[in-house]
Amino acid sequence: MDGPPERRPGTPDAQGKGMANLSLFQTPRGPAMPRPDALNEEGAPAFAFTPRHALAQYAATGCLNGTFYAAAEVQLDQLLALSGQVEPEFVARTALYCRHRGYMKDTPALLCAVLSVLGPELLPRVFPRVIDNGRMLRTFVQIMRSGLVARRSLGSLPKRLVREWLEARDENTLFRDSVGQSPSLADIIRMVHPKPKTAQREAFYGYLLGRPHAREALPALVAHYEDFKARPTSREVPEVPFQLLTSLPLKTEAWVRIAQGASWQMTRMNLNTFARHGVFKQQGMEKMIARRLADPAEVRRARVFPYQLLATWRAVGRAVPARVRDAVEEAMEVAIENVPRVEGRAYVCVDVSGSMQSPVTGHREGATTAVRCVDVAALMAAAMLRRNPGTQVVPFEHDVVPLALQARDSVMTNAQRLAAVGGGGTNCSAPLAWLNARQAKGELVVFVSDNESWVDARAGVGTETLRQWELFRRRNPNARLVCIDLQPYRTTQAPEREDIINVGGFSDVVFELMSDFTRNGLDARRWVKSIESTEL
């Protein structure tokens, strides 16, 4: 005779009484747990962003290059699709925001191209403010010519705007903007047919186009450059872009003069070049360049990303003097000054999983950055630790990775130590579970990740990350969660609400928003609202 049937959780027992499965039907505390409404790039449960937030995410983090999970073409398709799901005014504001606050390049130009189709009446209001240098102009024209926004030519309105852009700049500015190809400034001039209004502009256009022109009418800077090309031993180096000089047979003396007149960014990017040509061996040059690099006003004016300074610091060779290398570290202290000081205990959870090994600006043939997502995440965490010595950094992949950092160590040193660990799968709930197991107290938890959690995928209500956050909040009812996403995807593990903000990007505007959110009690839609408030 068979034994009694197996009793499953929630079925009547022998006395006819029901027993609810308490693991499934716990009485909730705090906000109701929403059900995930999407799958992330790993096929795990996640929460979808609204079209506005998703567009902001792509615009602030996307460089239109391939990432770990998405090819450049997929990102482009997503960005174009999202642009069609929001009002043209929001597209225009996003273009302005990510150019002037996020310092992005490709995406703002693309959004201007989108506006030429979806909101042509808005394009004249944002074009001169987004397309603010020669590189941006070339990018915009190339996008228009590519057919990506349903047209393969500039069209009458964009042509007029490009002509006005050219007319608004003097010849010296245009000459400095003429560096670059595909298309070149000469190509653009051929496309839009600007009418020169002076003899100097006519000669200048003829010079750029390789046509006969009156040499005596050329701008003084162009004439000086041509004279220098003929006699590169001349003592006076023309004030032209570095790229116009590097192909010339220059001696050390000329390189010293170039270094003396270089901008802050040009100096940062060419330290090894200066060392190779003997610049630092000349009296006073080491001191002068170090002072320039560490000058707080120059660093702020350059709008440098902290990750660019990290890349410079890692790339400088042994021929670059230690004093100059130290100046790069001093510049970093200025570059991270927008990192907020946090009252109370803060935790920074750094994703060191395998997907974070991909380049932060994506893969692009011949121009892929050596800086990875994990480098930027580590840098952000090290900056928080530097500004807030009581911060605890919690690296994670499948699980939390044991690593002790010292606040007194430099940002560069701690960032390198963090980026050297990890490599497993992504488990965004792991650091929260680790904090909960230790009954941790705190006011702020910051995640720096690509948000593609899959190790902790679970069925039912919420995600494991959100469930662990609820447990943390029971002990810390005033705590806030900031999720910083370094690459453009459309989902999150923790949806927006009063105690949770999702923000994308790796410029210092991320720290500004985090400061507003944590200090001023602003709601979690602060990021999208800051875009919506951008003046057209």
Question: pLDDT of 439-450, one tens digit each?
Answer: 999 999 999 998
Q: Which residues pair with 485 in a beta bridge?
A: 449, 504
What percent of the chain shows pLDDT beyond 70?
86
Instruction: Examine residue 34 and say whether the peptide bond preceding it is cis (omega within 30 degrees of 0).
Output: no
Q: How far is the C-alpha of 293 from the C-alpha of 41, rounded, in Å? A: 41
- Which three-class secondary structure string do you get for 296-342? HHHHHHHCCCHHHHHHHHHHCCCCCCHHHHHHHHHHHHHHCCCCCCC
Model pTM above 0.75? yes
What local confidence, expressed as pLDDT, does residue 14 receive? 40
* Higher-scoring residue by pLDDT: 259, 75: 259
Q: Where does the pLDDT of residue 23 fall: very low under 50, low under 70, confident under 90, or very high at 90 and above? A: very low
Q: How far is the C-alpha of 74 from the C-alpha of 97, rounded, in Å? A: 23
**Domain limits, the chain:** 38-45+338-529, 51-220, 249-335
For 458-478, the pLDDT digits (tens) are: 766 789 999 999 999 999 999
Beta 444-449 vs 346-351: how paired, if at all?
parallel
Is residue 127 pLDDT above 60, yes or no? yes
What local confidence, expressed as pLDDT, does residue 173 receive? 94
Q: State which H helix or E strand residue 114 sits in.
A: helix 106-118
What local confidence, expressed as pLDDT, does residue 212 receive? 94
What local confidence, expressed as pLDDT, does residue 402 receive? 92
5-19, 45-59, 260-274, 352-366, range with greatest mean pLDDT: 260-274
For 490-504, the pLDDT digits (tens) are: 889 999 888 998 887
Q: Where does the pLDDT of residue 102 fall: very low under 50, low under 70, confident under 90, or very high at 90 and above? A: confident
What local confidence, expressed as pLDDT, does residue 367 receive? 47
Q: How far is the C-alpha of 455 from the C-alpha of 442, rounded, in Å? A: 25
Q: How far is the C-alpha of 136 from the C-alpha of 115, rounded, in Å? A: 16
Q: How many helices (H) does the chain have, and how many strands (E)? A: 24, 8
Beta 480-485 vs 346-351: how paired, if at all?
unpaired
Q: Is 181 exposed, middle or buried (0-12, 13-18, 19+ CB in 10 A)?
A: exposed
CATH 3.40.50.800 fits 38-45+338-529, yes or no: no
For residue 137, what are its two tokens?
């102009």
Under a CB-based contact definition with an 8 Å cutoff, are residues 43 and 454 in contact? yes
Average pLDDT value for residue range 51-60: 84
The answer to which of 35-39, 230-234, 309-313, 532-536 has the lowest mean pLDDT is 230-234
Q: What does the mean pLDDT of the chain come to?
A: 85
Q: Where does the pLDDT of residue 365 fall: very low under 50, low under 70, confident under 90, or very high at 90 and above? A: low
For residue 306, what are its two tokens?
């902290």
For 320-351, the pLDDT digits (tens) are: 999 999 999 999 988 888 787 887 899 999 99
Is residue 6 pLDDT above 50, yes or no? no
Under a CB-based contact definition with an 8 Å cutoff, are residues 462 and 495 in contact? no
Is residue 376 pLDDT above 60, yes or no? yes
Instruction: Examine residue 183 and say whether the peptide bond preceding it is cis (omega within 30 degrees of 0).
Output: yes
Is residue 288 pLDDT above 60, yes or no? yes
Q: How far is the C-alpha of 348 from the C-alpha of 245, rounded, in Å? A: 45
> If DSSP codes are grouped into helix, strand and coil, which group holds residue 396?
strand
Q: What is the DSSP letter of 138?
A: H
Cβ atoms < 10 Å from Cβ of 499: 19
Q: Where does the pLDDT of residue 181 fall: very low under 50, low under 70, confident under 90, or very high at 90 and above? A: confident
Average pLDDT value for residue range 13-40: 58
For residue 520, what are its two tokens?
């001023």
Under a CB-based contact definition with an 8 Å cutoff, are residues 421 and 401 in contact? yes
Q: Cα–chain-centroid distance for residue 440?
A: 31
